[in-house]
Amino acid sequence: MMAEFWWCNLGKRKCHWMPWKKVCLAKALGGLGFRDMVAFNDVLLCKQGWKLLTQPNSLLSSLYCAKYYPEGSFMAAQLGNRPSFVWRSIIGSRPLLESGLRWRVGRGDKINIWADPWVPRPPHFRLVPKPGILPCAMITVQRLLKSDSRQWNEDALNLLFESQDVATILGIPLGSAIHEDMLAWHYSKTGTYTVRSGYHLSMTHFQERQASSSHMATAPFFSFLDSAVEVSAS
């Protein structure tokens, strides 16, 4: 509908000079900077998911918690039986929200160093152990802190992680005051989810998928071309 409105004139149908997906790309990438309404709708739904995550005592959170995740959290909640359209939509947008969340270190007792996203390094925010270290133990970030001060235990870090990972961890500020671990949105300075940063992340994912699909589409052709060159050479 929007493409028809943009390209048509006085009700007369005209040629669409650019695919709508490309129209929605940023101008720096060759597009016109239009909003992709499907992606923008998911971003707005993520805003509701963020409120359910960060405002558990609100009336809306209490209602959804009682119906869909009475003994768990929003991030671990399942679709459930006979879900409402709104709940189904929020759950459908949750992967986008999850892709931008990471833990901010406080006490460190809630964060599993292997399973949880807590390192400020996108896109996964997770670490891999050194060769020979098995990431099977339930080790929290608290174990990586000195017991007598709010500082990182460099000996423990060097034992478990590669040097570049150690440098990244040492760059995480701890602060003098002890506070609880909390989930934050990585793509804003305040750690709070915003529609603008969410849309930017969504379009980044879209461009990565497009690049991946283009590579997969051209790979068979070049493979065939290589084979043809080998046959002709022989």
What whole-number distance in Å separates Cα of residue 119 and Cα of residue 41? 29
Q: Return d(Cα 68, Cα 82) in angstroms, integer.
A: 10
For residue 221, what pLDDT is reported? 45
What are 88-100's pLDDT values in tens digits?
999 999 999 999 9
Say what the pLDDT of residue 68 is: 94
Positions of the chain with pLDDT under 50: 217, 221-222, 224-225, 228, 231
Residue identified by tokens 């699909």 is 213
Q: What is the pTM of this model?
A: 0.78
Q: What is the pLDDT of residue 151?
A: 92
